[in-house]
């Protein structure tokens, strides 16, 4: 990732000096860049002008920026669609728990999150949707700052207002949600007419997964506590479908779930609620190549051996990623290809054994096939192969060649 100067857009902004972005361990990641260069400049509650900086989205993994809030504050986090970029942003708390995410909420392919947060440390994760690389402008500010993005006009969708004690809402279950979900059960319902509101009660703390499904509707989920304060929201967790994964147990009490459609307000949305399953959550991240699985874990990873000169393997790839691993005995130039032979459009992503994303490619250099060429140190590596369109399926050949320097 590189940070570069970028032309001023509209309102006054605080540009970050080159080389002044400090790093720290926070938000569940090993390093996060302090958005203001140092924490004294990164308090969104008190800054006069929004923080604004540019990020190059290149497939080398998400960039993570840390900031503080020292009082209850309405914040706006944005990423522009300049330079052809299609950014996705995720808001995390200091423990790395996702609070909100967005793709295209800023208008066009720009992203925007608007939410209220309590005092604490937070991070925004910025990544490219699919292979849409480019430079995006990121702005961190408050509601009273001039917005960077125009905001989305979704043509028929209806915005959600906070669910308070006076908001008409139907019960999600009869009795407590704990009882409904005991023994691995789940609650599911389908409703039409955006937005809809659903109340539930927890008589004991419980971690939850809540999903909203129908890509034609482009659902958004927002969870509120008994006082009408936003707990967490999500848009576009998996494609256009939404999902809240509340990994830390919600406290016992009353809650209200708001379900809205950003696209077609008359399209039905299916809402499903279950107890949070950490194994299923992690496997889903591996399926979507949001993280690399451990090589010796329970998630399937095919070992294709040690790369001496070349290795190949034919792999059937559908909606989920297929993972392979190989060993490199000494530092070498390695060319890694995913070949679809014109039948499918594969995407290839390279990770180190420790799980660091090293590179990603789609359609390079001359066809729909994908290729990564890198000089790698000795060690073990993982490759994820996916379909550009996850509704496609077909056979992809993984082909690896090793080159050594001429003597």
Q: Is the pLDDT of residue 339 over 70?
A: yes
Domain 14-142 belongs to what topology? Answer: Jelly Rolls (2.60.120)
Q: Where are the alpha helices (DSSP H) in 278-342?
A: 278-287
The average pLDDT across 70-82 equals 90
Average model confidence (pLDDT) across the chain? 84
Q: Do residues 191 and 269 touch, judged by C-beta distance below 8 A?
A: yes
Q: Do residues 241 and 213 touch, judged by C-beta distance below 8 A?
A: yes
Q: Is the pLDDT of residue 311 over 80?
A: yes
Q: Is the pLDDT of residue 155 over 50?
A: no
Q: Do residues 181 and 206 touch, judged by C-beta distance below 8 A?
A: yes
Q: Do residues 43 and 112 touch, judged by C-beta distance below 8 A?
A: no
Helix, strand, coil share of the chain (percent; to 5)? 5, 50, 45
Per-residue tokens: 165: 């004690």
Q: CATH for 291-403?
A: 2.60.120.380
The average pLDDT across 138-147 equals 92
Please, where in the chain does CATH 2.60.120.380 lie?
14-142, 170-276, 291-403
Reported pTM? 0.63
Q: Is the peptide bond before 365 cis (omega within 30 degrees of 0)?
A: yes
Listing DSSP states for 356-397 in one string gives -EEEEEES-SSSSSEEEEEEE-SEEEEEEEEESSTT--EEEE
Q: CATH for 170-276?
A: 2.60.120.380
Tokens 């090293």 found at: 358
How confident is the model at residue 131, as a pLDDT? 55
């Amino acid at each position: 990732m590189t940070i570069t100067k970028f032309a001023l857009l509209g309102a006054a902004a605080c540009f970050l000096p080159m080389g002044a972005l400090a790093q720290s361990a926070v938000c569940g990641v090993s390093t996060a860049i302090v958005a203001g260069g140092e924490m004294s400049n990164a308090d969104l509650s008190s800054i006069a002008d929004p923080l604004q900086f540019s990020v190059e989205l290149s497939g080398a993994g998400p960039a993570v920026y840390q900031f503080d809030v020292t009082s209850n504050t309405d914040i706006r986090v944005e990423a522009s669609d300049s330079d052809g970029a299609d950014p996705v942003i995720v808001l995390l708390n200091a423990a790395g728990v996702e609070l909100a995410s967005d793709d295209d909420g800023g208008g066009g392919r720009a992203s925007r999150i608007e939410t209220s947060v309590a005092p604490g440390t937070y991070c925004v994760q910025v990544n490219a949707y699919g292979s849409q690389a480019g430079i995006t402008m990121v702005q961190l500010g408050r509601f009273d700052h001039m917005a960077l993005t125009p905001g989305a006009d979704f043509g028929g969708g209806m915005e959600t207002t906070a669910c308070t004690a006076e908001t008409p809402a139907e019960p999600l279950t009869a009795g407590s949600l704990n009882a409904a979900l005991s023994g691995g059960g789940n609650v599911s319902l389908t409703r039409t007419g955006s937005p809809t509101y659903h109340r539930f009660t927890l008589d004991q703390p419980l971690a939850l997964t809540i999903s909203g499904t129908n890509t034609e509707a482009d659902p958004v989920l927002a969870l509120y506590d008994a006082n009408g304060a936003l707990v967490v929201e999500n848009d576009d967790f998996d494609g256009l479908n939404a999902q809240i994964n509340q990994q830390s147990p919600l406290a016992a009490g009353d809650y209200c779930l708001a379900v809205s459609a950003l696209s077609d307000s008359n399209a039905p949305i299916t809402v499903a609620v279950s107890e949070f399953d950490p194994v299923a959550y992690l496997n889903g991240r591996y399926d979507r190549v949001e993280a690399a699985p451990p090589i010796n874990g329970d998630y399937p990873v095919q070992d294709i051996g040690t790369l001496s000169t070349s290795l190949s393997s034919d792999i059937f790839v559908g909606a989920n990623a297929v993972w392979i691993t190989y060993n490199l005995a000494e530092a070498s130039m390695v060319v890694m290809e995913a070949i679809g032979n014109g039948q499918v459009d594969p995407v290839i992503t390279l990770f180190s054994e420790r799980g660091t994303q090293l590179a990603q490619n789609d359609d390079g250099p001359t066809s729909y096939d994908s290729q990564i060429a890198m000089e790698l140190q000795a060690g073990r590596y993982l490759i994820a192969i996916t379909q550009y369109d996850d509704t496609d399926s077909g056979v992809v050949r993984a082909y690896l060649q090793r080159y050594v320097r001429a003597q």
